[in-house]
Structure 1
């Protein structure tokens, strides 16, 4: 029975983690676009506000949600060590490690923006904001379909989905600018 509680809170943590990451990178877009404000005072005020919001989202939403996700997930593997024998689990774990790297990279971006360095333009941040979508689709497919999933087809499908997201983003940018 405990396994089900940990699974439920694992899902809650994952949902909150993804929500936080989507929100955080969207704020990066607005932070960079604050450079377009008409006066230096307005630019600095907007950038300071976005930086405050970025840190709060990272520390109050993303970090606790990531920790809840990892803690409950690892606890589930202690309660059911059979997970370690399943191929889908190794792939999911690898994707979660990559998601954690993305999470930590976002912290680095907050610091860079705080220092006045823009590592990307707003369009590149919009593309970066779609990366968790690929993680989410991959993790959901692995968690639900497990061993019935052909990993090669799944990887190809996620790759195609990523290309479609990129094409949609490019078309949206062109429409906004045109």
Structure 2
């Protein structure tokens, strides 16, 4: 393995992880705003829905999906160059969380398509809570990568604490939304 190439792949991987998560966070935020247009009067409703659809498509197709493709390609390249990583507990944990992230990605894609076709299955509060899933996964993945052996040794406590934090975050979102309605 050429270490120089490996670190180039790693740098590109990290850059596109940042781009991907930026896109993922913002696309759900746009879905929230798009969903909230349902309560608006015409012509404001149609104007905003058209604008949100345009923004969602651009964000998803120009930033989020290409960033995902590049980050996965670089990640697989690094694993190919250093196959020993696959045997490490922290990497197994990371890949498990990345699998959950990919499921979340496809949930976002499906939900986005539904919203763009005026099928609103989720309230804005439910979407706000789902937006926290990406935050929890980001925290979990970063901690797994940074802590490495320590995370691998105590992975179950780490995952329990991150999901516990997620539940707390979702409760806070619900509380804030309840107070905003008053």
**TM-score interval (norm. to shorter):** over 0.9
1:113 and 1:156 mapped to 2: Cα distance?
A: 32
TM-score, scaled relative to structure 1 = 0.95
2:7 and 2:35 mapped to 1: Cα distance?
A: 42
1:170 and 1:63 mapped to 2: Cα distance?
A: 30
Matched, 1:144 2:146: yes
Matched, 1:28 2:31: yes
Aligned pairs for 1:15-164 (under 5 A) are: 15-39=18-42, 41-149=43-151, 150-164=154-168
- What secondary structure is seen at the aligned counterpart in 2 of 1:129? helix
Flag as ranges the 4+ runs of structure 1 deviating above 3 A. none
1:120 and 1:90 mapped to 2: Cα distance?
A: 33
Find the counterpart in structure 2 of residue 170 from structure 1: 174
Alpha-carbon RMSD across the aligned residues, in angstroms, is: 1.0
1:112 and 1:167 mapped to 2: Cα distance?
A: 26
Aligned residues: 177
Which string of whole-angstrom CA distances, capped at 9 and with x for unpartnered residues, describes residues 81-101 of structure 1? 111111111111121122112
Unaligned runs of 5+ in 2: none
2:129 and 2:112 mapped to 1: Cα distance?
A: 17
Unaligned runs of 5+ in 1: none
**Superposed displacement of residue 152, structure 1:** 1.3
